[in-house]
Structure 1
């Protein structure tokens, strides 16, 4: 099997001079590592982050290893549709956008809601990703060969969409809601890829997951410090966890493909094609989620059915 689909690491990222990447949640974890690697290859990287101080600290750290890095901070809160719309308007000022890396997300918080009142995990992990991508599609389409990257998780395999309680008004369990949001990510990738192909668009979409990476995404997990210590030998570092992201964003990724670590049960290792649960490629679920997402966000990608 070629490196197109197996054995991909940061070392395989080619020169990216002249290209512009938007990375959401870029101040830490996988987003930071992907931004660092892309900047080191000469790309312009727009760090779309909620916390400006943390974003500037991330930019400072990137410039320590790549002094000439071309970086920009973009104020962006994926839990707020107004912020998402404003960020999309700001990006219109950029000469070009080659890749949107949807990396920002939350994991198993207590019951919380977005500014518009959506359950936080579904609102941030899926609806925010859906809205931002939809708003940027015209800008992306202006650059031939542009890409959209959607970040999912191994947790999607146990996910089920609770159509009768999408907003967690009746009940809330952290892990099932997280798994649901990650299944939504892959259903969205499936439908976005299908519609882009039908439209004959030069924009392509690919997905990724980091395996088990020791980032601060799991900060709401009880005993997280001890857990990281115990599982560190069996997990990816944040830099390694970003390899599937880099493959999807800047490697020889295939349209509609999904990438993850190639080690035991996709927990760690170099990047290649990942497995999807059968429900992640259900066309009826994907179409239904697409329509519901438009209704909930009031953002329409205007792609043919």
Structure 2
């Protein structure tokens, strides 16, 4: 499930890959979660600009409609629609999946939405909120959209994680984080769950026909609205550092745009910035952490996710 050593993922001709190198996406349908700001907004904008039909899967439908209207104004003829979904609400996820599932097919699902640095709280499912929103909501949405993805000739799921997944630890016996909670640790654990999920989905899809190609992406250190979410001294430090050192959302979105549109990517590929430490730069093939590749952890997370969401989902296991 790894790509080996870091390899430049740019197209022939030199230089790093940018969105203007993206092929025409006309005729393809994309679902992008969290598409009203930050990385999701940039991703939706570029996909629409290149002819893709984009479904904005967002919690705030009114804000989504504003974004859709803006994109249609900027790119005449762009097909941009809103599908309301709250990734913390199982009923909302089912409603959204049912509506999206009425589409002829979904070619690419970009699991982009996320929260960070929130105070401790537990959902009705019994899961801490970072894990619930960042992983469980996307696990459920992906599972419920499987039929629509299967109708595509080349379905793909892009799961957005973070380099912080390398520091994450998953305690599947205490998904509520009832002890020793810190926002950063919980966020990192949820990003590890994203990485484990992406790798495990790729593993389980090896013998499916057509296989859903599961690809992982991370934005490096990018100045997005997440940088303003922290509280207290930590929040102030995050906002200052984001302005001073982080790359733009336009650069941060490139890995997931590459992961969503580049032909021929191998299942389990991990795309991130090519700069030092993977913090900034242009898309390149990287390597997820050893924990993310652990098949036993993948199996356990899959089973626990089914239990917590109440969704039995069994893609073919390798």
Question: Taking structure 1 as the reference length, what is the TM-score of the superposition?
Answer: 0.94
What does residue range 154-303 of structure 1 map to in structure 2 within 5 Å?
A: 154-222=163-231, 224=235, 227-232=238-243, 234-252=245-263, 253-303=265-315
Number of the residue aligned with 1:119:
128
Retained in 1: the 8 A contact 2:58–2:64? Answer: yes
Change (3 A) 1:291 1:239: same
- 1:300: Cα distance to partner? 1.9
Q: Deviations over 1:39-78 (max 9, x none)?
A: 0011110000010121112113323321221111101000
Counting matched residue pairs gives: 305
Retained in 2: the 8 A contact 1:80–1:115? Answer: no
What does residue range 65-144 of structure 1 map to in structure 2 within 5 Å?
A: 65-144=74-153
Retained in 2: the 8 A contact 1:263–1:269? Answer: yes
Retained in 1: the 8 A contact 2:217–2:255? Answer: yes
In the alignment, structure 1 residue 57 sits paired with structure 2 residue 81: no
Matched residues in 1 for 2:70 and 2:121: separation? 31
* Structure 1 counterpart SS, 2:32: strand
Question: Taking structure 2 as the reference length, what is the TM-score of the superposition?
Answer: 0.90
Structure 2 residue runs without a partner (length 5+): 1-7
Matched residues in 1 for 2:191 and 2:126: separation? 19
- 1:19: Cα distance to partner? 0.6
Matched residues in 2 for 1:201 and 1:98: separation? 12
Retained in 2: the 8 A contact 1:23–1:102? Answer: yes
Q: Deviations over 1:115-152 (max 9, x none)?
A: 54421101011111111101111210111111001010
- 1:233: Cα distance to partner? 5.2
Change (3 A) 1:49 1:16: same
* Structure 2 counterpart SS, 1:129: helix
Matched residues in 2 for 1:78 and 1:114: separation? 11
* Structure 2 counterpart SS, 1:155: helix
Matched residues in 2 for 1:98 and 1:119: separation? 31
Matched residues in 1 for 2:25 and 2:135: separation? 28
